Amino acid sequence: MIYLDNSATTRPLPEVVEAVTAALREQYGNPSSAHRLGLAAEDVIEDARADVARLLGVKAKEIVFTSGGTEAINAALVGTALAHRGRGKHIVTTAVEHAAVLETCGFLEQVGFEVTRVPPEPNGVVDARAVLGALREDTILVSVMHVNNETGAIQPVQTLGQQLKRLPKVIFHIDAVQSFGKLAVPLTGVDLISLSAHKIHGPKGAGALYIREGLKWEPLLHGGGQEAGRRSGTPGVPAIAGMGAACRWWLAHGQEAVRQLSEIHAAFIEVLRQKVPGHRLNSPPDGAPHIVNLSFPGFKGEVLVHALEERGVYVSTASACSSRSAKGSHVLRAMGVAPEVNEGALRFSFSPFNTLAEMEEAGVALAEVVKELRPMMRR
């Protein structure tokens, strides 16, 4: 099996499985309890919080654990909107965000907020000047992803942060779910950052939200006052322990892992060039090292996915959250990609545990599938 759907989810590291298992078997107390088992569980959470903070480069007290990236994004956007609605109700985002951002913005529109969605350039990258040009007097929030989950396009969040730092009344949120661990996440001018564990070889069910110290922000969940009152509910200690273990791995091995990803990415592009005719690259050449989006015009991406699966190669058509949509990728549509090209799109996404030999094998399998299916696609 060659697993190349790492942007959807990653295989948990052995260290992660061990940490989750230990938390289930040994640190099973409620972290809010005052007895020994409760204190042991609390120690697990605080150790993991420190690991997440170190990998991101922030203070541990600025990290709030969530159930995943989607909750972190919802908390960032809705929490900001509620806290600052007295000053304004305008939000700026982009047309190529993950559904967790776009759907949350849609919800906020239903309750009285206005949202401007800035379109990208044809390469999938949003012009920072266009984002800044969309600001109004009543703008309270800007939300832009760091790395696009479908194309790997790196958005100009560093430039935006530097510019928005001059506008302290505008809160800046970054969706760093796809970049965390793989790219340095800019912090200048950034108020909120959403993270997910299962994209970095951690477990599903854990995520985190960075909330800049001193930021005015309203929690979504109320109850027992856990996470310093910022996210009530008994914490999922096993998943949090696993996220901490994944962050420790990236702290120790991240530099080498990113080098490997870059090599794998370059090798796959070369295999495509030499052995897979008729494809169109949708990813920019200077995108993230772990994502390649390409299309075969006239084909159906879902058919290609299943044909590759039969050969032991696992990929996807778009975001896992929307891969079964009949409308195709909203990201490619926003980039101006023609419908017949959008329909034939595939996403290959890598991990540091993929090999150069797998890139060759996957390319050969892809070439065989396209050759085999092309006569049928023309009918």
CATH label of the domain that carries residue 66: 3.40.640.10
236 lies in the same domain as 273: no
Mean pLDDT computed over 21-27: 96
Domain end (from 249, 276, 293): 249
90 lies in the same domain as 46: yes
Q: How far is CA 61 from CA 53, 187, 200, 228, 242, in A?
A: 8, 16, 22, 9, 19
In which region does residue 292 sit, left (phi positive, over 0), alpha (psi from -120 to 50) or beta (all else)? beta
Domain end (from 249, 264, 288): 249
Can you say whether the dihedral through the CA atoms of 159, 215, 228, 66 is positive or negative?
negative
Per the structure block, which two tokens stand in for 20? 């989750």
Domain end (from 249, 273, 296): 249
64 lies in the same domain as 115: yes
Q: How many domains does the chain have?
A: 2
Residue from 129, 70, 127 nearest 99 by CA? 70
- Active-site residue numbers? 321
279 lies in the same domain as 360: yes
Report pLDDT for 147: 98
185 lies in the same domain as 112: yes
152 lies in the same domain as 293: no
Q: What is the CATH number of the domain that holds 315?
A: 3.90.1150.10
299 lies in the same domain as 233: no
Name the average pLDDT for the chain: 96
Under the banding of pLDDT at 50, 70 and 90, the label for residue 378 is low
31 lies in the same domain as 151: yes
E strand spans, 260-308: 280-281, 291-295
Report pLDDT for 319: 56
208 lies in the same domain as 278: no
Cα end-to-end span (Å), the chain: 31
352 lies in the same domain as 258: yes
| Per-residue pLDDT reduced to its tens digit, 135-147 | 999 999 999 999 9
DSSP state of 61: G
Q: How far apart are CA 302 and CA 150, in angstroms?
A: 15
In the block, residue with structure tokens 């289930």: 24
Report pLDDT for 323: 46
178 lies in the same domain as 142: yes
| Per-residue pLDDT reduced to its tens digit, 76-134 | 999 999 999 999 999 999 999 999 999 999 999 999 999 999 999 999 999 999 999 99
Alpha-helical (H) ranges within 85-191 are: 99-110, 128-133, 157-164
Report pLDDT for 321: 56
79 lies in the same domain as 216: yes
Mean pLDDT computed over 204-223: 97
Domain hosting residue 244, numbered range: 14-249
- pTM of this prediction? 0.96
